Structure 1
Amino acid sequence: MRKFSFLIGLSLFSIFATYAQQIEIPLDTSVVTRHSVNINGKSIDYTAETGTIPLWNEDREPIASLFYTYYTRSGIKNTENRPLVVSFNGGPGSASVWMHIAYTGPRVLKIDEEGFPVQPYGIKENPHSILDVADIVYVNPVNTGYSRPIPNKEGKVDREKFFGVQADIEYLAEWLNTFVTRKNRWLSPKYLIGESYGTTRVSGLALELQNSQWMYLNGVILVSPTEIGLDREGPVEIANRLPYFAAAAWYHEALPQELQSKDLDDLLPEVENYAINELLPVLVKGGFTEASKKQEVAQKMAYYSGISEKVILQNNLEVPFRYFWKELLREKEGYTVGRLDSRYRGLDAKESGDDPDYNSELTSWLHSFTPAINYYLREELNFKTDLKYFMFGPVHPWDRSGNNTGENLRQAMAQNPNLDVMIQSGYFDGATTYFNAKYSMWQLDPSGKMKDRLSFKGYRSGHMMYLRSEDLEKANDDLREFILNTLPGEGEPAKY
């Protein structure tokens, strides 16, 4: 049985739903603090609002409490020309923490220049935040961060309302309608940014917001995108691996000297060209490829990937990602390389085997992200609760059926001439590889009539490319430029 207690404070009121286990869930709260940050040499005053807003069902009953953090630049009297960026992370089941305190927000982790954790853990100013040109809201879907579902009168949660591709898109669109209305942002230019599975989310939201909420966007940014429902199975998927293999091998100096001496920007186009024009046709023929041709291709793949011709032939030219992470440094150093960021090395119990014991990059990131976000929300933004902050929350099983989000994004762009899309990827990301991201961009609009509204940016880091200091600056500058360039001129109509 649930109960509600009404408290004065925080905002106009706070409602708390209490489960049988006596964990209090803040339902409708707001805490406001004021700060300043130096961005690109200029002092920016801003307000941080963190709290929860309910998700309502058709009977206007709360079915979930969603946690958010909302940054607005101070001194802006008229927000109709002030962009609003809505930020999501992925998983599914990941909190909106990674881009919040490591990429676009006014505060970032204390990490080294390459993104590795340092102690004492903590946060510092982000001199590259996009807060100078846009306000930002970081949204945590149900069962991430402090967001939680609210049980019905029988004490049960309807999981089908939250935990699936389409359900996730539909309820978040409803919640964003409430948020935009409460914060008086209907007139503002609007952007969605999503990372990893968050790219599936925002691709679907682009059309859902237009067709169900009549909320039109100016831009969508896909950071380390998933396949967003676009087919690339079979020979295409296998061929698309090679450019990433080459990038990871180049970073670890595992390539032949004539390749190793090339700059990455010169090497990768060469490998991409080979993958598309020479490797793919051979893979299409499968087991009917002539033995001499298969040997020739295996030799070239070894040349570009840093792993042996023998291993490639043993795998019939199809080296699995996990085997590559285990194999690349097996003979050279005895380490594994990371999945989400192959710059990171791991140490397994045995050098033998087919895949790494653990994800070296993720365990490294959790070192610094977990203490930082818990400290920051409570001590600097003054949001206090005994709820556990879910870095990764219980959202599985996740219904992945009906994923047409790439097509939804294409349709949203077709319907809205003002909608542009930018993709950002790290070259050393082995989970959502940069070349697959390029491929998805090429396939997103088969007509080619909108290709001038699609752009790709690559970085010398991994899945969270912004962890590397140089790329933090570059990626935010790319975001800033994208936002400013996609704002229509005064009086410019949305038409073809």
Structure 2
Amino acid sequence: MRSQSILPSLLLSLALPVCLTAQEKKPDKPDTPPAEKTEGKEGEKKEPKKPDADKPVVTSGTVTIGGKEIAYEAKAGTLPILKPDGKPSAQVFYVAYTMKDVKDAATRPVTFCFNGGPGSSSVWLHLGAFGPKRVDLPADGLTPPLPPGGLVNNEFSLLDVTDLVFIDPVNTGFSRAEDPKNLSEFLGVQEDIASVGEFMRLWVTREERWRSPKFIAGESYGGIRGGGLAEHLQQRHRMYLNGIVIVSGLLDYATLMSAPLNDVPYEVLLPALTATAHYHKKLPADLQADFKKAVAESRAFAFGDYASALLKGSDLTAAEREVVVKKLARLTGLEPKLIEEQELRIDSGVFREMLLRKEKLVLGAYDGRVTGRDGDESENHPQIEPFMRVVGSIAAASMNAYLREELLFEKDLPYEVLAPQPNWNHGKGNSYTSVSGQLAEAIKQNPHLRVLALLGWRDLVTPPDNMRLSVRQMHLPDELRGNIEFAEYESGHMMYTNRPDMEKMHADIAAFMAKALK
């Protein structure tokens, strides 16, 4: 019998991490506002000071991107989420980087960044992809570094094209509800969108950035948050975005979570299985020789004969079933017998466990290029996630050290990198969470809004075709379909852990923003 899919449990921790190497100039000595300066004898090292509420700690630094040195100001602090009566209901932690010596802030874009989960802080996009510092990982993103890891200047930071604000949603990072008993007010699809939207409103108000071009960048569940925010910001605050960058994201849970009458997740996963089997050289010679041909054949089958066969159910004849089994074996590298046992439905866990069974290796979910040994061949799902071993042990140490030692932000609370979100409210009714309709409405109301979806071919958590299917099914007029574009990468969910992908990602996003601002 087919095993139960592990996608729902994986979705509870959709977000991960970090990158490469290169030495840059050390940050300048911190410039601390008068209220935050610390006393001490000349030459004595200044200690971090616990910031007052609503007063960020300010430091300065430089980063070299594309051969050009950029001086920036960093602010680390919290902003309140305000109730209708003006009283705070939560404090949201953020780190903002703004380029110095900008004559007119109205000409300088600002991008609000967050990860997913729900339950993830923004550490992954912050120290993995976009910020001026990044975690130092091997260039291929396949080998774990020696803990606790270290930070290097990020030559692929987006600070050359946009200011950056990294947001930790309530109950992640240092962000907390004022009254823990009211935490449920923030733990839900629409609740989360509203609170992040309120943070953005207050930040642009206090920083006098209403006239600046505005972008959102969200990873994984951040696609749900970002897609919903686009419409919410327009309706609630009359704030119109210029663009959204969705990193390995989703807009519709129906593309990822199977059910007795929903086989779509198996269809959207198949091309990624083919791409991953190709990486491990498990495809027939003709497909192995041509990656584009392999993926095109897999995609055509997934949304053609395969989808039709799954819809037929028991009406599928024995001869038709045999054809499907042979085709799936050709496109996945798995044994026909296993495909039969799984009732033609190959989920990520079975594939990760069985593709390299002869080599006694299992694949990573977030990046199917990564392998590991779990030592248990009695199961047909992996007992470990090898990719987590590449990055999981260093993210918390890097972030805690960076906040306290370089940004000089001190807080006794634990920084929650990945926090459980109890009883997340997906909304009323017996339906899948979806924001594709909200995003479509936002684009129709704001035809200048553009969307860039970044897709990793070896992402077995949010496979590329989940986004492509959502976009195909969106109710948009033909003249606005070009507002949404895609960029593909060789690695997985955190494509920025692979140096060539990270370099391409910077170029893709920079070009996207330039187009959105024309």
Q: TM-score, normalised by structure 2?
A: 0.86
Secondary structure at the counterpart of residue 393 of structure 1:
coil
**CA-CA distance at 1:10 after TM superposition:** 6.5
Mapped partners of 2:189, 2:51: distance in 1: 25
Is the 8 Å Cα contact of residues 97 and 373 (structure 1) preserved in structure 2?
yes
Mapped partners of 1:200, 1:464: distance in 2: 17
Secondary structure at the counterpart of residue 351 of structure 1:
coil
Aligned equivalent of 1:448: 478
Cα deviation code 1:118-145 (max 9, x no counterpart): 2361111111211111101000001111
- Give aligned pairs, total: 465
Aligned equivalent of 2:274: 246
**Unpaired segments of 5 or more residues in structure 2?**
1-30, 37-49
How does 1:74-473 map onto structure 2 within 5 Å? 74-115=100-141, 116-119=143-146, 121-151=149-179, 156-228=180-252, 234-262=262-290, 264-331=291-358, 333-401=359-427, 403-473=433-503
Q: Which has the higher contact order (CA 8 A, sep 6+)?
A: 2
Q: Which moved more, 1:188-197 or 1:438-447?
A: 438-447
Cα deviation code 1:435-475 (max 9, x no counterpart): 11211221223543421111011100110111100011101
Mapped partners of 1:226, 1:409: distance in 2: 12
**CA-CA distance at 1:213 after TM superposition:** 0.8
Per the alignment, do residues 461 and 266 of structure 1 end up closer, same or farther by CA in structure 2, a change over 3 Å counting? same
Secondary structure at the counterpart of residue 217 of structure 2:
strand
Aligned equivalent of 2:55: 29
Mapped partners of 2:434, 2:349: distance in 1: 27
Secondary structure at the counterpart of residue 353 of structure 1:
coil
**CA-CA distance at 1:117 after TM superposition:** 3.1
**CA-CA distance at 1:396 after TM superposition:** 1.6
Is the 8 Å Cα contact of residues 335 and 351 (structure 1) preserved in structure 2?
no
**Unpaired segments of 5 or more residues in structure 1?**
1-8, 15-23, 489-496
Mapped partners of 1:30, 1:254: distance in 2: 53
One-letter amino acid of the structure 1 residue matched with residue 338 of structure 2:
V
**CA-CA distance at 1:11 after TM superposition:** 5.4
One-letter amino acid of the structure 2 residue matched with residue 146 of structure 1:
F
Per the alignment, do residues 298 and 451 of structure 1 end up closer, same or farther by CA in structure 2, a change over 3 Å counting? same
Is the 8 Å Cα contact of residues 92 and 175 (structure 2) preserved in structure 1?
yes
One-letter amino acid of the structure 2 residue matched with residue 208 of structure 1:
H
Per the alignment, do residues 447 and 287 of structure 1 end up closer, same or farther by CA in structure 2, a change over 3 Å counting? farther
Mapped partners of 1:201, 1:275: distance in 2: 28
Mapped partners of 1:381, 1:270: distance in 2: 50
Q: Which moved more, 1:309-318 or 1:132-141?
A: 309-318
Q: CA RMSD in A?
A: 1.9
Q: TM-score, normalised by structure 1?
A: 0.90
Secondary structure at the counterpart of residue 108 of structure 1:
strand
One-letter amino acid of the structure 2 residue matched with residue 339 of structure 1:
A
**CA-CA distance at 1:343 after TM superposition:** 1.3
- Which has more strand, going by share of residues? 1
**CA-CA distance at 1:269 after TM superposition:** 1.7
